[in-house]
Every structure is written in C-alpha cells, then in structure tokens.
Structure 1
Amino acid sequence: MPEPRVVIIGGGHVGLTLALRLQRKMKPGEAKVTVIDTQPHMTYQPFLPEAAAGSLEPRHVVVPLREALRNCEVLTAQVSGIDHARQRLTATLGDGKVERFGYDMLVVVPGSISRALPIPGLAEQGVGFKTIGEAIYLRNHVLSRLDIAASTTDERLRRRLLTFVFVGGGYAGIEAMAELESMARYAIRSYPQVSAQEMRWVLVEAMGRIMPEVSPPMSEYTKGRLEERGIEVKLNTTAKSFVDGHVALSDGDEFDADTVVWTAGVKPHPMLEDSDLPRDAKGRVECTARLQVRGTHNVFSAGDCAAVPDLTSSDPDALCSPSAQHAVRQAKVLADNILAMLRGEQLVNYKHKYAGSVAGLGLFQGAAEVHGVKLKGFPAWLLHRGYHLMRMPTASHKARILGDWLMELPFPRQVVALGELHDPRAEFVKAANTRGLPKPNGRVAG
C-alpha cells in the first residue's frame, strides 16, 4: 500500500514548524510529506526589524527549507489553484512548467501579504515590511538618504531626504520604525554635515492608539517613548496621497518624503482566491477548532490565512488573532492532529489563551505585557530578544543570532549602505554599453 501523501502549501513559520514536528514524530513509511513554497527558505519575521537595523545578519533570520527538512520533499513552486473536489492542486514550478498534484491530506498555510489601499502614489512610493528583501532594501535606503543629504546644499531636497513616514501603528510598524530610527540616529554621528534634529520620523495611525495588542496604558507608554525620541505619532489620521513623494494626511499636514513604509495590516494570500475551500468575509479559510477546514475532513489550515475559533473567549464568534504566538501553537496542534488522523486516533481542539506581547523599540528599549505583567525599557527589550530567540527554528540559527548579539557588545554597529544590492548588474551594463563608443580624440574606446 503506497504511503499517504501530506502536502503542505506554505513554508513560512507555520509550515516549517508543522513540517519539523511531523518529521520528528512520524514513523518511517507512515506518510510522505511535501512542502511547497515560492521561496526556498522561511523568514522569521519578528527579527526583520533587527536585520534592517544591522543588529542581525540577514542570512541568520532565514531558515533554508531543504536544510531543515531533510526527511521531507521540498518544492519551490507557486500554487495557483486548489480543487479539493478532486483532491488536486495546480502549481507552477521554477522552470515555468505547470504541474498538478494529488494529495491524501492537505495543509493550507500560505500566510498573508501586505494589505495596500488605493491611495494615490502608494504603489509608486511605498515599500512593505514583510520580507527579508524589503528589510535589506530599507536599511540601504535609509542610510543612502543620509549619504545624499550630507552632500547636498539644497535645503528642500535635504528635508525630503531626511523625512521618513511609516503608515500603521501595529507591532510591525512600531518595531520597524523604532529600530530604523535607532540605527539612523547612531549612523548620523558619522555625518558631521547632518544633525539628528534634522531628521523627521512620522508614524501615521488611523486608530485612536498604537499597538492595539496591548492594554491602553502600555500603548500610551510606547507612544511616550517614541515621542521622547522626536518621533511624531499621528493618531486618528489617514494618508490621502503620496503622489511624487508629496505626503498629504487627513489632519491637513502636507510635506515631502523620500521614504514611505506601509505596515497597515495584512490580508490572506491571494492564492486562496482560486480554490473551492470555504472562506469568510475577510478571505480567510474557515476552520473548526480542530484546525480542519469546514466541510472537509482531510484539509487543514492555520496562521494568518485561517479563521480559527478562539475557545478561550466568551464570545462564540471570536477568532484567534493573526499573531506569531497563535501561529506556532496552532502548528504544533495541527501536526499532532495529522498524526492522529493517520493513526486513527482522536483529534483535539486548539485552545490557547493569548499570553501577551513583547516589542522591541530600538537598542535597549522595549515594551512587554505578558500574563498581565507589564515590563518597560531594558527588561522588556531583553524579554523580547529572549522570547524570539527561543522561538527561532533550528539550533544552528539560534547560535548564529546569539553570536550576532554578542558581537555587538565589543564592536560598533555596521552602518553602511550597499546600494548595489538593488541592481548589481548596473555598473557592468554601463561598462558593457560604453565599450566601442568613440572617445573625444576619435579613437574607439576599449
């Protein structure tokens, strides 16, 4: 009898955690596990702000799937459709070939993407903060703005270069802005032509407070710490336009900015739109408390793309929030339920009371609220690092990250912009295109 095939769509935090647990607990010959993702690695997103700020080597916050999942089949491909009625899915492989795969059990965990709004100029001027590429880009971009500002005498251009706008006051936006501002403040000491007071950092949030994941007092504390550093926090404010880098806000404020970072929410992966799985009004896959997709018995989902009932809430319609805390715990329950189904055992419900949140606000600064206990400043920052270090998959990556942090103690941060990373062929193409052109004296170049 052939091995049952378990297909996992998505190699992100949920997919990797799930596959690692299956790989560890599954008996030989019990099932064949296939992981499909467009990227050959998992990015640990809570460490993206530190990677952007230079505290962590970018390679250390990504885990190669093939390295970690040696007992699983890993395919780098884009799933474009799910036909559960026939238990088949369609995927485009790296060479462009379209394949159709059958499965015995399917796990849909593709995660989410940035949720952009139809704001004029956003697509042209903005950048998200969900991938390692975006983190590296922002690091280089911010530092390159300091380089250009230090060499220009145009005051209007200077103000534009040194103005940085972040839209979205959730954890992603707060941590990204705090880390990059901390990095820029450190780096600017090497630019005698520019002062820290010339930089303008603006946080735009549509709600009445930032960080809705924590209590109002902790939200106010975080807002106060940001404002102490000169960061403008604009609440109950939305963006109206970013056309040509001119920022127009709903509170009437208008100014030019060369950096616009969009962290105002996420939405389920668009791959789910071409499937026959049930979804809710927000596009998430509807699940039972056992993490099974409603109306099916052999399809599961979890994480950002799944609407999972929150059994700890008194509200019968409450759903688990899209957080890393829920995602990791759901992945473990999901792995155990898959094993239980393979072995003919009883599946269990996912039930976890939200423990709280931790956030880094730049070097040695943080805010945390865990099981009702509030921590601020250095203790919260230390807890933030310790918690996420424990959650980072694989011992080798834990060691590399710890090594990066220890190297920060005796040595200064590396603050240099490597703009060539965005277009590494630019110089070569320029050189190749100039070959054979006539020189001013009539001779042929090259």
Structure 2
Amino acid sequence: MGSVKTIVVVGGGYAGINLIEALKKEFHRELKRNIRVILIDKNSFHFKKVKLFKGIVNENVADLSVPLKDYCGIAIEFIQGELAKIDPKKQTIHITVQDGTFNEIYYDQLVLAMGSVLREADSERGGLSMTSLESAKTIREQLLRKLESPETMLRLVIAGSGITGIETAAEVGTWLKEEAKKAGNKQKDIEIYLINDKQSLLNDVPVKISERIESRLKKLGIRVLHLKKAERFTDHKLYFSDMSHLDADLCIWTVGLKPHPGLWRLGLSLTEEGKIKVDAWYRASENKNIYAIGDCVHVVDPTSGAAAAMSCKEAISQAQRLSKIMKAHIEGFTAAPHQTYANLLCIGLGPSDGMVWAQKWGIDFVLSGKMAGKIREYTWDLSSINH
C-alpha cells in the first residue's frame, strides 16, 4: 500500500463512531502500519441523543454518554478539539483544543461526520425545548413539582410529533402515571397532548401505520391533535396558528434536527438547509479527498433519486459503505455508491411497547407490543455499537 495514509474523522456522533468501527474492519491488517486513523470531537464522549427523553424519566442517566476512547481502542487516535478550518490545498485541518490553541493536522482522507443538533424553539415562544441532558432534567423537576401540587389535573403538551415527540410522549406519559401511584396520588388526572401540524403522524410511513401508532398512543392516554401548528406557550396556554388555544401546565418542544451550525464556516458547498453537498460516493464537490456522511450531508440515491433522511439507520449504512469506498480509493478502484436505506421504522411506545414496520416488495410487515419494544431497544444499542 506504500507510505502511511492518514484518515481523519471529525465527529463522534452516530455516523462517526460507526465509521470508526467499519474502518477497523476494513483496515484491520493495515492499522498502525500503513493506515493512521484519527477521530476528532469537541467532546470527550459520544452522547446517545436519540434516548434524550430518558433524562426525563430516569434520575440516573450516566449510560447516555460513552467515552470516545472506548470506541477508538488502541488502534485509533482520539484528539479532543473543535474543527476551525479546512485547507484543501495543503490537505490540513486546524482544530481548536481545550487551552484555546490551534493544532494543524495533515490528512490524506478527511471525513466530516459532524451530524446535527436538536432544534431549540425561540425563547419568546415559551415552554421548554428538549435539547440537552440539562433541559431534560429541568423538565423532570418541573413535572415532579406539578405532580406534588394540590391540583387534581396535570396537562402536558408536546409540540412536535416526529419520532422524538412520539417516543417522549409515550415514555413520559407512562412514567408520570407510575410516579403518581408511587406518591399515593391516584386521583391525579394526567392528560398528555401530542401536537401534529400534519394530516397524520410520520408522513414517511403509510397512513395505516400512522393510524396504528396513534391507536397505541390512545391506549396510553395520549391524545393527538392533528393539523394544529403550535406558535407559543404563555400563561399556561398553548396558542395555535388558527388563533385557538389549549390550557396546559407545561409545554415541551420537540421540533426536530438541524445540520451542525459549524458547517457554515468551513467554505464548503451547502444546501439552503445547511447540509454539505456530496456526490453518490459521499465526496464533497470541492475536493475528492473530503467526504461527509450522516445528518450533515445531502446525498441522493443515484438509482431512486431519493435524498437520504436524517436518521441513525442512514448514518450506520453510510458509515459502513463509506469505509469500503475509502479503501477502494486508496487501492485505486471504485466501490459501490450510496443507496438509500430500505423502508423501515422502529419506534418506542413506552418502556414495554413499540412498533416495527418494514416494507419489501410493496408488502408491509408490522410487529407491535413487547417484542417490538425490545427490538427498538436493540436498535438503540446497535446505533451506539452496544456500549
């Protein structure tokens, strides 16, 4: 293979850690000899953000953070720092380390796996955005105080009905009822509303699957309000764009993801949404030695024309495919391009329930109940490589 090749991976999210794992397998004989791999992240840990709602229902959530060195082992180097600049001509990056100084690192291949951040509702809209472990803990504390209050009813609204909103509603709803029983407050009337601005839940799945999910939510006492766009929460009222309102004790915003804001300063071609434009081999158009995968990229399946979604399953699939593309590039041939992940949904509906939907040959395969819940737990572990 010749001289040592340096691969730099920026980002220790789901795409980054799964790429590191895939590179270990692809280059297991060459690592430390002909291939040097460096992982860079501003944090020292990988955070399981898809399970952030666990910070509301569990007091101890230490397992949501995994040291990135655990993924690297002895074969991969880890540097804690933040990407500040890319110099494609020199094939170097500048990173800011903890003491504020800059380090310059040379690369033969650079992978940007900087992912996404949780969107935060504007502060003037009121309520609480679930964007961090700290915010989840704040929500937990406020809900527990509401449970202890003398009022006979607690009404919680969750504005945002994507997978995160649905899973949060189901998990928090179950937890609140259990906490009320523990406190001997069985008379507490707990109401949870999930606000959906569309015709049905999860537009990427068939309507009948959306209806089944909503049916299971109803069994948990969760009511879905369709075609309602939440605007602001003030004075214990959630106001909608149609000028109507809903009385509530607390509002949680779960308004989705946005590409990492740090991408704007790197001088790469971005979409209006802020994603890196890449070709079907995940290469940035400016330089064929720069790749990008995960939530931070706009990549299109060359066969179907479908753009990749922002999801863990896409991140894992792209990471595994990119490791083969990178090895092929080093060895002088071309590997298979991007392919959109198959139609699949795994969703948690509380601590002991879930739904799995897959579509193949136009046929829907559906599993729900405890087994589906266990599969969802398995997919969470799989995304973080079961650490």
Shift of 1:355: 3.5
TM-score between the two structures when normalised by the length of structure 1? 0.77
- Report the counterpart of residue 62 of structure 1 in structure 2: 65
In terms of Rg, which structure is larger? 1
| 1:364 pairs with 2:352 | yes
Query: Cα deviations across residues 391-444 of structure 1 (Å, max 9, x unaligned)?
Result: 4414xx3xxxxxxxxxxxxxxxxxxxxxxxxxxxxxxxxxxxxxxxxxxxxxxx
- Report the counterpart of residue 92 of structure 1 in structure 2: 96
Change (3 A) 1:81 1:128: farther
Q: Of 170, 193, 211, which residue of structure 2 is paired with 1:202? A: 193
CA distance in 1, matches of 2:117, 2:333: 35
- Report the counterpart of residue 128 of structure 1 in structure 2: 130
CA RMSD of aligned residues (A): 2.6
Query: Cα deviations across residues 261-310 of structure 1 (Å, max 9, x unaligned)?
Result: 22222111011000121112221111111111123211111111111112
One-letter amino acid of the counterpart of residue 94, structure 1: Q
Shift of 1:242: 2.4
Change (3 A) 1:392 1:273: closer
- Report the counterpart of residue 340 of structure 1 in structure 2: 328
- Report the counterpart of residue 440 of structure 1 in structure 2: none
Question: Residue 304 of structure 1 aligns to a residue in which SS?
Answer: helix
Match runs of 1:4-403 below 5 Å: 4-26=5-27, 27=30, 28-50=32-54, 52-54=56-58, 58-70=61-73, 71-116=75-120, 118=122, 120-122=124-126, 125-129=127-131, 131-147=132-148, 149=149, 153=150, 155=151, 162-193=154-185, 195-197=187-189, 199-243=190-234, 246-255=237-246, 257-313=248-304, 316=305, 318-371=306-359, 372-394=364-386, 397=387
Query: Which structure dedicates a bigger proportion of its chain to helix?
Result: 1
Shift of 1:254: 3.0
One-letter amino acid of the counterpart of residue 225, structure 1: R
* More moved, 4-13 vs 267-276: 4-13
TM-score between the two structures when normalised by the length of structure 2? 0.88
Change (3 A) 1:376 1:67: closer
Shift of 1:381: 1.9
* More moved, 255-264 vs 282-291: 255-264
Query: How many corresponding residue pairs?
Result: 378
Shift of 1:37: 1.3
- Report the counterpart of residue 4 of structure 2 in structure 1: 3
Question: Residue 242 of structure 1 aligns to a residue in which SS?
Answer: strand
Question: Which runs of 5 or more structure 1 residues have no equivalent in the other structure?
Answer: 398-446
Shift of 1:312: 4.9
CA distance in 2, matches of 1:25, 1:108: 19
Question: Which runs of 5 or more structure 2 residues have no equivalent in the other structure?
Answer: none
* Off by >6 Å, runs of 4+ in structure 1: none
Question: Residue 210 of structure 1 aligns to a residue in which SS?
Answer: coil
Change (3 A) 1:181 1:57: same
Question: Residue 247 of structure 1 aligns to a residue in which SS?
Answer: strand
Shift of 1:46: 3.6
CA distance in 1, matches of 2:223, 2:54: 21
Shift of 1:50: 4.4
